[in-house]
Amino acid sequence: MVGTAIRTAIGSRRASAAGRETRERILDAAERLFAESGYSNVSTRQIADEARSNIAAAHYHFGSKEGLLEAVLGRRLDGINAERERLLTQCMRDAGGRPAIQDVLEAFIGPTLRLSKTEEGRRFNLLTGRASTDPNPEVKRILFQVYDSVGRCFVEAAAAACPDLSKAELFWRLTCVYGAMMYIRADNGRLQHLFGPGFTLSDVDGALKYAMPFLTTGMQAPPSAAAAPDATPSRREDD
Amino acid sequence: MVGTAIRTAIGSRRASAAGRETRERILDAAERLFAESGYSNVSTRQIADEARSNIAAAHYHFGSKEGLLEAVLGRRLDGINAERERLLTQCMRDAGGRPAIQDVLEAFIGPTLRLSKTEEGRRFNLLTGRASTDPNPEVKRILFQVYDSVGRCFVEAAAAACPDLSKAELFWRLTCVYGAMMYIRADNGRLQHLFGPGFTLSDVDGALKYAMPFLTTGMQAPPSAAAAPDATPSRREDD
DNA sequence: CCATAATTCAAGCATCTGCTTCAAGCAAGT
DNA sequence: ACTTGCTTGAAGCAGATGCTTGAATTATGG
């Protein structure tokens, strides 16, 4: 029987100090390697080696490679997403249901962006940024699950902050915001390469000073229906 | 000796009609599977099966899995990137070196965006969108090579269109633009999931109508140094 | 101190990976 | 007709993959 021992370990009931320690070492190693090479390109053997541990130990603690990824993400995201939800509901409450869009963006993007101030936080952002476009069904499932709740809060708050936008327009604008945020995190190096040394996406201050205002301005732009000459204002293509 | 036969095949000298046909079938199959599951998650065997062909045939025509990806990308991107470069230099010339930013964005993003009007084009955008954050060194190398030239043109044209922006600010704004574009292409389904049925990133008209104006507005925003209260205008942090 | 449970280990299993080999098939050009 | 070189096929290689096994080791509560 596999079940009992693993479940108690995973549920971390009665876990020994030594057990917890190697558990953390494995999580650290997996985080580092997943961020560097992507989930599919890392083997459980590599992770065990990097953690100065054993493959079986990893499976004992996490059940499977998929479970390991889930634990790696949960370890940091649980706290961060709770913080984001707290900030989002708070700025909704403080503004009586009509928050400023910059507060909404700050509440959603700020907490993850600021992670990049530490090296391990930067690595974690790289991991989640890359995972966000990972086609592997296991990865997709885990991300959907982890981000579902805070994502809903964000969309709701953004809609409240931009009541003049149609649902379709909000969808496209948030797509741009989401995409920019993820791209900054995934940090593929293309633009750094074109701009030369000295420009890096892990520069949190630069992101806060330049990227956030760009996104805020875009969100505040008047609805396209009014600006676009070919739009028929009487006929909305959503809802 | 491996060399001679493969090189002539790869250089497609003296290729027979039958040879060209299976070559295309393999490219189609690889494109479809790479787009669907990502480069690392697809095996040469799957590709051969999907193409109703043989592993050896794939290696005969493309030398390696890496060479196959290169061919898949080159088949479509060579034309598209040439078109983008043509449009970029044209709008630079027409405007006497001071193009409008919306023309620059349209020249860079438009050609790829419009690909999504056909099913196979949509699939190709999915492939390149996902590849853009792929950590696999083979994938990165190929993308850098393929996008280097047109990327340079784009940055140059954008800089000419926004002469008031510092290099750092341009860097961050283009990062947002690039990120939004890639995210639309990679189409991970997160926001569609939150917005419900009827919202899709392959809706080219929606992207042109809503996403492009968002990005244009963001690029046209006044420099952050002026807007941000904590910025010291006399001290630029770049160049 | 010792029984019981938690943890780690070396070894192995079945399957898959990219790629190669070598023989057979095919389409010309002469 | 027949040689020549391009193209495909079946089989196989060495190594990697996720995961399991069963025994050994370690920690901990009684």
Q: Which of residues 158-197 of B touch A (CB under 8 A)?
A: 167-169, 171-184, 186, 188-191, 193-195
Among the partner residues B135, B217, B218, nearest to A41 by beta-carbon distance: B135
In whole numbers, what is the pLDDT of chain B averaged over residues? Answer: 89
Spatial distance between the Cα atoms of A170 and A225, rounded to a whole number of angstroms = 12
Chain B residues closer than 8 Å to A151 by CB:
190-191, 194
pLDDT digit string, tens, across residues A3-28 = 334 444 444 456 777 778 999 999 99
Domain ranges across chain A? 3-62, 77-223
Tokens of B239: 């160049």
Nearest Cα to Cα of residue B211 among A173, A149, A6? A173
Calculate mean pLDDT across residues B121-147.
Answer: 96
A180 has a pLDDT exceeding 80: yes
Chain B residues closer than 8 Å to A140 by CB:
188-189
Please judge whether A221 and B214 are an interchain contact, meaning their C-beta atoms are less than 8 angstroms apart: yes
Calculate mean pLDDT across residues B74-83.
Answer: 97
pLDDT digit string, tens, across residues B151-162 = 999 999 999 999
Q: Is the CB of A22 under 7 A from strand D?
A: no
Chain B residues closer than 8 Å to A147 by CB:
190
A2 has a pLDDT exceeding 90: no
Q: Report the SS3 class of residue B13.
A: coil
Q: What is the pLDDT of residue A237?
A: 43
Please judge whether A194 and B152 are an interchain contact, meaning their C-beta atoms are less than 8 angstroms apart: yes
Question: Is B113 in contact with B208 (CB distance < 8 Å)?
Answer: yes
B-interface mutation test, from A171, A184, A238, most B Cβ less than 10 A away = A171
A70 has a pLDDT exceeding 50: yes
Angle at the Cα of B62 from the Cα atoms of B56 and B67, rounded to 5 degrees: 125
| Number of Cα atoms under 13 Å in the Cβ half of residue B22 | 19
Nearest Cα to Cα of residue A128 among A66, A204, A184? A184
Q: What is the pLDDT of residue A152?
A: 97
Higher pLDDT, A190 or A236: A190
pLDDT digit string, tens, across residues B174-218 = 999 999 999 999 989 999 999 999 999 999 999 999 999 999 999
Spatial distance between the Cα atoms of B74 and B142, rounded to a whole number of angstroms = 10
pLDDT digit string, tens, across residues A213-227 = 999 999 999 998 654
CATH of domain A3-62: 1.10.10.60
Q: What is the pLDDT of residue A19?
A: 75
A82 has a pLDDT exceeding 60: yes
* SS3 track for chain A: CCHHHHHHHHCCCCCCHHHHHHHHHHHHHHHHHHHHHCHHHCCHHHHHHHCCCCHHHHHHHHCCHHHHHHHHHHHHHHHHHHHHHHHHHHHHHHCCCCCCHHHHHHHHHHHHHHHCCCHHHHHHHHHHHHHCCCCCHHHHHHHHHHHHHHHHHHHHHHHHHCCCCCHHHHHHHHHHHHHHHHHHHHCCCHHHHHHCCCCCCCCHHHHHHHHHHHHHHHHHCCCHHHHCCCCCCCCCCCC
B102 has a pLDDT exceeding 90: yes
Q: What is the pLDDT of residue B17?
A: 72
A77 has a pLDDT exceeding 80: yes
Which bases along strand D come within 7 Å of a protein CB atom? 5-12, 16-22, 26-28
Tokens of B228: 């941000």
Q: What is the pLDDT of residue B225?
A: 67
Residue A1 CA, distance from chain mean position: 36
**How far is residue B92 from each of residues A2, A195, B101, B156, B219, measured CA to CA in Å?**
67, 20, 10, 10, 17
Calculate mean pLDDT across residues A111-123.
Answer: 96
Q: Is the CB of B19 under 7 A from strand D?
A: yes
Calculate mean pLDDT across residues B75-86.
Answer: 97
Q: Is the CB of B44 under 7 A from strand C?
A: yes
B-interface mutation test, from A214, A216, A232, most B Cβ less than 10 A away = A214
What percent of chain B lies above the pLDDT cut of 90? 84
